[in-house]
Chains A and B, each alone.
Chain A
Amino acid sequence: MFGEKAIELVRELDRIGDGQLPAFNEDGIRQVLEEMKALYEQNQSDVNEAKSEGASELIPTIKFRHCCLLRNQRCIAAYLYDRLLRVRALRWEYGSVLPTSVRFHMSAEELEWFNQYKKSLATYMRSLGGEEGLDITQDMKPPKSLYIEVRCVKDHGEFEIDDGTIILLKKNSQHFLPRWKCEHLIRQGVLEHVLS
């Protein structure tokens, strides 16, 4: 049956339901597009035949192929769109710099889109809250205090806070830091929030 390659793309994303980005299946997309091209060409020649020779018995076949074309189109559109949603989520979970292992899974167009999204978001955040702008990726949960207790989960190297002090983020060391400085590091799994 037609459309088998296309549904495989969709299944691939559905299997990984928690929002992780699997490698871009360029080969799968190409195969679907080839199938679509073949369907289109067959239909085109049958349409010409039906027109010139009045072969109206071909019409169900043409409709059949057309349905398959639309199906393939839908699968590809959904595949690309769902990936975009995942790429967008990366900006909020990882911050603006992505690890290379994640970038490796994106197509060139997706990388381009990610950069544009990053820029739009930054421009929007600069336009908020007066002179300095407002980082809306901060404080995803309402803050209760300005400083929080954090523990290092892994070695991260030196880290500078507002007043210029440099602290060494060494595994298992514990610090009392300004909340807004460490929220991203917590999300990235470098620090752990310790509740007293």
Chain B
Amino acid sequence: MATQSYTPVPPGVGMEDNFLSLDDILLSQEKLPCRTETAFPRLGFLEKSGDTGDIQEGTKMEMPLWLAKGLYDSKRRVVAVDLPKVYREGWRTVFGADPNVVDLHKMGPYYYGLGSQLLHFDSPENPDIAQTVLQTFVRRFRRIMDSSQNAYNEDTSALVEKLDCMERSLFRSGQAGLHDFQRWEKGQSSQMTASSLVQNYRKRKFAELEA
């Protein structure tokens, strides 16, 4: 693998949120079920079922995480944030039984990120959510590490399919490490190669010409 001079801004760790990270911005776009606890005058057009000009108190609506986080205030009652169903009691039991069979990409794809962000909202279930998210990761990690270190020159799409976004990037790092090690063993690590950036540009240009 060629050295890459572009590394994107890394996402924040745990409950943190990195302002400039593209991943964190996409994560905070995830929708949460919310209930308004105060009226929002003149914003009725944002809510499909409402026929008045206002969002009434007690309206159930889906809000993106960034908005819920911005409006939420533990002292003043503005919005109440509900848990998405994968973090509720029922699903927590499933994760407790065997986290390896769950398709986290379908459930998430930001299962860990969103789970950590939910801890910003005071909820009596917070400790349980945190515990489940942590245990899920611990029990899935072994398989991810194992497969990323041993699948060499194979089609990995079946392995990656069920992984959450964060797990995918872990898997990719593992694979990159494995490939670099194999190159070193073959004595190829001192070979200079064309920049992958340049090569990809060229591929795309050819594709455009053919189209």
Contact = CB atoms under 8 A, between A and B. Distances in A.
Interface of A: 1-3, 7, 10-11, 13-14, 17-20, 42, 46, 57-58, 60-61, 63-64, 66-68, 70-71, 74-75, 77-78, 81-82, 85-86, 88-90, 92-94, 99, 101-102, 140-142, 144, 148, 183, 186-189, 192-193, 195
A94 B195 CA distance: 8
Interface centre among B9, B70, B196, B198 (most CB of A within 10 A): B198
A1 B20 contact: no
B187 interface: yes
Given A63-B70, A63-B78, A64-B71, 13 more contacts: A7-B25, A10-B26, A60-B71, A61-B40, A61-B42, A63-B71, A66-B70, A67-B67, A81-B20, A82-B8, A82-B9, A94-B197, A141-B189
A30 to B, nearest CB: 20
6 closest A-B pairs (Cβ-Cβ)?
Answer: A19-B6, A67-B70, A89-B6, A189-B194, A92-B5, A89-B5
| Binding site secondary structure of chain B | loop
Given A93-B197, A186-B194, A193-B193, A60 B25 contact: no
A63 B189 CA distance: 56
B188 interface: yes
B151 interface: no
Nearest to A59: B38
Nearest to B18: A78
Interface string B196-211: 1111111011000000
B39 interface: yes
A77 B20 CA distance: 7
A189 B39 contact: no
A36 to B, nearest CB: 15
A18 B67 contact: no
20 contacts: A1-B64, A1-B67, A2-B46, A19-B197, A42-B42, A58-B41, A60-B71, A61-B43, A66-B70, A78-B20, A81-B9, A85-B6, A85-B7, A93-B197, A140-B192, A186-B193, A186-B194, A187-B192, A189-B202, A195-B187
Nearest to B195: A93
